[in-house]
Structure 1
Amino acid sequence: MATIGFIGLGNMGGPMLANLVKAGHTVRAFDLSEAALERAESAGAGRAGTIAEAAAGAEVVVTMLPAGQHVRGVYTGEGGVIGAAPAGALLIDCSTIDVDSARAVAAAAADAGLRMVDAPVSGGVGGAEAGTLTFMVGGPDEAVTAARPILECMGKAVVHAGGPGTGQAAKICNNMMLGIQMLSVCEAFALAKRLGLDAQKLFDVSSKASGQCWSLTTYCPVPGPVPTSPANRDYAPGFTAAMMLKDLKLAQQAAAAGEAATPLGAAAEALYALFCNQGEGDRDFSGIIRMIDGQSQG
């Protein structure tokens, strides 16, 4: 069992920390939110007063932070992880951020004699709570091998994508596909409604035909066909529209930098921006069907 510093205890980080504690690890938690720290203590973690205190003496440091600037600050800023962690410590960043930030922080860690992987996740809050996340991991072979047993305490699949930053690349490509596919499913159900085709009948056909995809069979955006989907809970998240918009923006930034043509990704970003600007950012991303179908918001 390892001594782990865990920084970032939001909707995803809090349950991930709890699963590390359940696995028998000793975890010291840090977050700017007092309520998040109290929940971590209730889950069995110790409390750290600063980032440096969470990292000091830790064999492993795990972070789950909002964006690239936060990751850069937590790792390379004054009092940050890289300056406080002991030589040889393993750093695991599970945030979803831009590839350039991931690679810059990994290089700084390597220069300090620390091992680091970028390990963004797929699976949402439900996956974090159930310990069934998928991790897309970028980093050197030895660091990924060392990180695997820690990640397996929080997820069901660990995929080594390649060198530093490739975990982030895999995540933003995957979520661009997810955002586009969800929009296609929403449009199909809105069209079916206007053509007099029952939603369950469309699901029965498409879930067994060429229209089949995760957004349909696991996360169907209309109530009924998939009882566990957010559509049956007034689109309580899951995975918020604001988080989907963040990932689509990252994909478009990467596409511009790499001179890749992603017109459907750009269209998906624009639609999710419109949905979020209507005050729906905290709703599950599948709730965009309400906008596509012309239903009132709020």
Structure 2
Amino acid sequence: MAKIAFIGLGNMGGGMAANLAKAGYQVRAFDLSQPALDRAVERGAAAAKSAAAACKDAEAVVTMLPAGKHVAEVYRSTVLSAAPKTAILLDCSTIDVATAKAVETDAQAAGFTMVDAPVSGGIAAAEGGTLTFMVGGSDEGFARARPILENMGKAVIHAGGPGSGQAAKICNNMLLGATMAATCETFVLAQKLGLDPQVFFDIASKASGQSWSMTSYCPVPGVGPDTPADRGYEGGFAAALMLKDLQLAMAAAQEAGAYTPMGGEAEELYRRFVDLGGGTKDFSGIIKMIDDSWAPPAETKE
């Protein structure tokens, strides 16, 4: 099987790299965090001493990094000089569209084929290999990337040219953030009007108000399928990451001249929730702020 360099082994990248190793790829992994690298080795990857060492002789390079500045730095300082020109480059990070396009332009100028392939699905999907990949790049790039991505996801969709994967991701998550906020508001209102949450779920999940945020990821404990709400809003998709995606969406909207009032309101709500200390909680935990039951963590005294 092909040799794959995997750079970035955080909550998402660790599971993705493990699935590639499970599929039989020779995964050479690197992360600045030694514990993250150790976990990758335990799950079938080989440790590389540096990003450059990971890229040497690789047939594909996959990156999963926190932000656009990290992606630009890793590609421009390391990947484009250390990887063979024959390698297909896949950036699965969620970053701004402008940086994605710029890095792909640099890669093309250096003789590489590259795609941006951000994901949807969260940590559980990364672990289970059921992510959805939104891929931006040429037809050739998509064709080369698809077999690799299919070992980490349930759906691999070609969104369009360079940067289109990132555009699709931030639009999807803007919609998700806004619908989750509205779902939380609705459940709080329903309870204050005397409706039982389960009864309201049974009605709305079969009526015109139905949405994924309600039927698949209900923010109310004990209602609907098992979700982070049933575990104290632990795990799942961190509110800080939702805020990051909403900020990317708002920046893209401003650049494109698009009017996105609901997206802007969702960004403001999630900023408040994160500022109150909810950043590590699942994004559906915003219901605790909306019903006024969320309070900042108590200050510790020396």
Contact 1:172/1:250, CA 8 A, preserved across alignment: yes
**Partner AA of 1:68 in structure 2:** G
Aligned twin of 2:242: 244
Q: Given the alignment of the two structures, is residue 208 of structure 1 paired with residue 209 of structure 2, yes or no?
A: no
State the partner residue of 2:75.
75
Name the amino acid aligned to 1:151. L
- Is residue 259 of structure 1 aligned with residue 243 of structure 2? no
Write the letter of the residue equivalent to 1:109: A
Residues 231-270 of structure 1 deviation map (CA, whole Å, 9 limit, x = unaligned): 0000012100000000000000000001100011011000
Deviations 1:168-199 (A, max 9, x none): 00000000000000001000000011001000
Identity of aligned residues (%): 62
Partner amino acid for 1:104? Answer: A
CA contact (8 A) 2:104 2:115 kept: yes
Distance, in Å, in 1 between the alignment partners of 2:255 and 2:54 is 35
**Secondary structure of 1:29's aligned partner:** strand
- Give the corresponding residue for 1:51: 51
TM-score normalised by length of structure 1: 0.98
Contact kept, 8 Å, 2:273 with 2:286, in 1: the verdict is yes
Q: What is the CA distance between 1:56 and its match in structure 2?
A: 1.1
Match of 1:188 in 2: 186
Aligned-partner SS, 2:165: helix
Aligned partners of 2:174 and 2:84: how far apart in 1? 37
SS in 2 for 1:12: helix
Consecutive unaligned residues in structure 2, runs of 5 or more: 298-302
- Aligned residues, how many? 296
Q: Deviations over 1:31-70 (max 9, x none)?
A: 0000001001100111111111111110000000000000
Separation in 2, partners of 1:237, 1:136: 23
**CA distance in 1: counterparts of 2:226 and 2:132, whole angstroms:** 19
Q: Aligned with 1:109: secondary structure?
A: helix
User: In 1, are the aligned partners of 2:135 and 2:160 still within 8 Å (CA)?
Assistant: yes
Q: Which runs of 4 or more aligned residues in structure 1 lie more than 2 Å from their structure 2 counterparts after TM superposition?
A: none
Shift, 1:227, TM fit: 3.6
Match of 1:286 in 2: 284
1:223 aligns with 2:221: yes
CA distance in 2, matches of 1:47, 1:258: 42
Cα distance, 1:203 vs. partner? Answer: 0.4
Equivalent residue letter for 1:71: V
Deviation string for 1:200-245 (max 9, x for gaps)?
0110001101111110011000011224211000001210000000
